[in-house]
Amino acid sequence: MTTLAAAVAARLPTRLVGATARALYPRLEPELARLADYCPAGGTAIDLGGWYGPWSRRLADRCARVVTVEPVPHLAAHLRTALPGNVRVVQAAASDREGTAPLWLPDGDDGDRGLSSLTRGGVHAHSVEVPTVTVDSLGVRDTVFIKIDTDGGELPALRGARAVLDRRHPALLIELETRIRPIAPVIDLLAEDHGYTGWILLPTGWRPLAGFDLPAHQRRTEHLVHRGMLRRTLAPGRERYINSVLFLPEGRAPAAPPRLP
């Protein structure tokens, strides 16, 4: 379902839409406003699924360097002109192999809605061929943080980051939605193969994922997703739809100093 705001945004200049998204997003995702809780200053952050750059822009202020991976060609081109000089934009989709793959998009959408994915879902109607890269192939040696927003492509993206996860143990912020794909495989992979534990941000602060039923919460609050970004940020209700999960190496908690690699 396309919201009115999304329909209007499709007719506005990309520069204006991008600036609006970057300004509003910390209200939609409070995790972004609390980068200092889990993202060490300095080093390199990787943003998988850059969209209009709300995460990349904030990360550029905190980290020495940012690598933004965005598969939609016109969005990648926009990011190259809109983001600071310490951001490198890679026009590709994050996966577990290098090559090309179909990127699936909703009907009437060229990627502006932020719903593109290498995994075809019920919302997708057409595809375009895009390059694919792995995190391990990006050549980053000092990764401190990775944000993953790939609409169902989380497992391939993580498998393509195996060396970085094992060598650097960066903090991870991953969008997980049960309405798109089961979330247990991602949680299990990170826990069993890499020693990560999950955290979610509630109004009262960070809480271990293990004590929170995220699938039940998302089923109960899914109706909020269909209100669109403008309505959810400018007229928020008492409850928000939580889909961002912070993963940290075992023994590390949000707002605690990271262990040296």
User: Which of 86-90, 110-114, 126-130, 154-158 shows the lowest per-residue confidence on average (mean pLDDT)?
Assistant: 110-114
| Beta bridge partners of residue 90, listed in sequence order | 69
CATH of domain 4-249: 3.40.50.150
pLDDT, residue 26, reads 64
> 217-244 pLDDT, tens per residue?
999 999 888 776 655 565 555 788 999 9
pTM: 0.88
Residue 144 clears pLDDT 50, i.e. is over it: yes
pLDDT, residue 2, reads 41
**Rounded CA separation 11/1 (Å):** 17
Burial of 246 (0-12, 13-18, 19+ CB in 10 A): buried
What is the pLDDT confidence band of residue 111, given thresholds at 50, 70 and 90? Answer: confident
Return the exposure string of 37-68: e unless at least 16 CB atoms fall within 10 Å of the residue's CB, then b: bbbbeebbbbbbbbbbbbbbbbbbebbebbbb
> 177-216 pLDDT, tens per residue?
999 999 999 999 999 999 999 999 998 999 999 999 999 9
Q: Name the residue with higher pLDDT: 260 or 220.
A: 220
Q: Are 110 and 46 within 8 A, CB to CB?
A: no
Q: Are 228 and 3 within 8 A, CB to CB?
A: yes
pLDDT, residue 71, reads 97
